[in-house]
């Protein structure tokens, strides 16, 4: 029996892209099983005229208002509107700014969208994305040594989305598929700089994903072994053996989100970098 859900309006108002707000809002709303938000997102609100539409929509559908607005006049008007309507509102960065200012004892610069400036970090992420897209699914093997991280795994272990997630954080990530009876590129076994990580999942999970993929593609020209559970189990065992032989860390992604998998890979990467530095100093 399905539980009835209570719906509420959630207004996210930002003078930048709104990504920070959406991340915080979704982290909060997922904690409440019996409620469902109706999300209204207003990015790039930087003038009073742009705020007019926001105010109008909040008045039409009152709810919770979360915002990140640097301009004091715009944020003051939004707060005034919320008070008049008797609805809750939170500038989600205020508590963070207060802690930083108290600890650092420096003045806040009030830069709008400062995290999205076209600085060296931004271009590092773009460079990483370009590298990752060019090296997806083993497309280019010759320069794997230029990668920061190389993921290996059988089909449907989320190698590509994990690589893209890492690239968005400035990590050059390549991935190499493990296909039965097809030799690995010799460069993979000779890598010195990149961290190589193996990805696996349960045979049941991979079988389910592969079946869904075959159905979605409406493909009749596929090998039966692709969705055969015993064959999938054999592929998984080959992955385990390969990683064990080469002392590569192995991550089971069966019950992990892309974000959780990437977080563990990043922890392994930082540990490997630290070890490299320590070895050089010895």
The CATH number of the domain holding residue 209 is: 3.40.50
**Residue 1 counted as domain residue:** no
200 appears as a binding residue in the annotation:
no
Instruction: Say if residues 170 and 125 touch (Cβ distance below 8 Å).
Output: yes
CA-based nearest residue to 21, from 36, 2, 39? 39
pLDDT at 98: 81
68 appears as a binding residue in the annotation:
no
Q: How far apart are the first and last CA of the chain?
A: 64
What is 94-137 written as a DSSP string? HHHHHHHHHHH-------TTGGG--SHHHHHHHHHHHHHHHTGG
**Residue 68 counted as domain residue:** yes
49 appears as a binding residue in the annotation:
no
157 appears as a binding residue in the annotation:
yes
Q: What is the pLDDT along the chain (282 residues), one digit of tens a residue?
A: 445 568 999 999 999 888 889 989 988 998 988 889 999 999 999 999 999 999 999 999 999 999 999 899 999 999 999 999 999 999 998 888 788 888 887 766 556 555 545 567 778 888 999 999 999 998 888 899 999 999 999 999 999 999 999 999 999 999 999 998 899 999 999 999 999 999 999 999 999 999 888 887 766 666 678 899 999 999 999 999 999 999 999 999 999 999 999 999 999 999 998 887 767 766
Q: CA 126 → CA 10, 169, 232, 252, distances in Å?
A: 32, 9, 35, 29
158 appears as a binding residue in the annotation:
yes
Q: CA 236 → CA 95, 170, 179, 258, distances in Å?
A: 47, 30, 11, 19
Instruction: Provide the edge-to-edge strand list for the sheet that holds 195-200.
Output: 173-177, 149-153, 195-200, 250-252
Name the residue range of residue 108's domain.
Answer: 6-114
Pair (70, 126) in one structural domain: no
Mark 267-281 as b/e (b = at least 16 C-beta within 10 Å).
ebbeebeeeeeeeee
The domain boundary residue, chosen from 114, 141, 165: 114
The domain boundary residue, chosen from 114, 138, 154: 114
The number of distinct structural domains making up the chain is: 2
pLDDT at 113: 52
Instruction: Say if residues 261 and 251 touch (Cβ distance below 8 Å).
Output: yes
132 appears as a binding residue in the annotation:
no
90 beta partners: 66
Pair (130, 100) in one structural domain: no
Pair (153, 224) in one structural domain: yes
pLDDT at 2: 47
126 appears as a binding residue in the annotation:
no
193 appears as a binding residue in the annotation:
no
The domain boundary residue, chosen from 114, 136, 154: 114
Pair (239, 128) in one structural domain: yes
């Amino acid at each position: 029996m399905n539980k009835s859900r209570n719906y509420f309006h959630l207004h996210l108002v930002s003078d930048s892209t709104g990504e920070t707000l959406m991340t915080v809002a979704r982290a909060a709303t997922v904690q409440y099983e019996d409620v469902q938000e109706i999300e209204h997102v207003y990015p790039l609100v930087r003038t009073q005229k742009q705020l007019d539409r926001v105010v109008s929509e909040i008045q039409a559908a009152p709810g919770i208002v979360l915002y990140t607005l640097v301009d004091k006049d715009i944020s003051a008007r939004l707060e005034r509107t919320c008070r008049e309507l008797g609805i809750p509102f939170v500038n989600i960065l205020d508590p963070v700014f207060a802690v930083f200012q108290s600890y650092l004892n420096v003045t806040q610069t009030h830069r709008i969208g400062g995290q999205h400036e076209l600085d060296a970090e931004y271009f590092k992420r773009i460079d990483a994305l370009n590298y990752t897209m060019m090296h997806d699914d083993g497309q280019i093997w010759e320069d794997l040594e230029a990668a920061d991280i190389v993921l290996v795994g059988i089909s449907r272990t989320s190698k590509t989305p994990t690589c893209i997630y890492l690239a968005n954080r400035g990590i050059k990530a390549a991935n190499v598929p493990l296909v039965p009876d097809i030799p690995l590129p010799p460069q993979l076994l000779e890598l010195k700089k990149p961290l190589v990580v193996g990805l696996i999942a349960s045979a049941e999970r991979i079988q389910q994903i592969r079946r869904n993929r075959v159905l979605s593609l409406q493909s009749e020209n596929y090998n039966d072994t692709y969705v055969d559970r015993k064959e999938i189990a054999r592929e998984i065992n080959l992955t385990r053996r390969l990683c064990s032989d080469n002392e590569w860390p192995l991550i089971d992604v069966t019950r992990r989100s892309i974000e959780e998998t990437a977080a563990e890979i990043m922890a392994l990467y930082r540990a490997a970098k630290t070890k490299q530095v320590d070895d050089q100093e010895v």
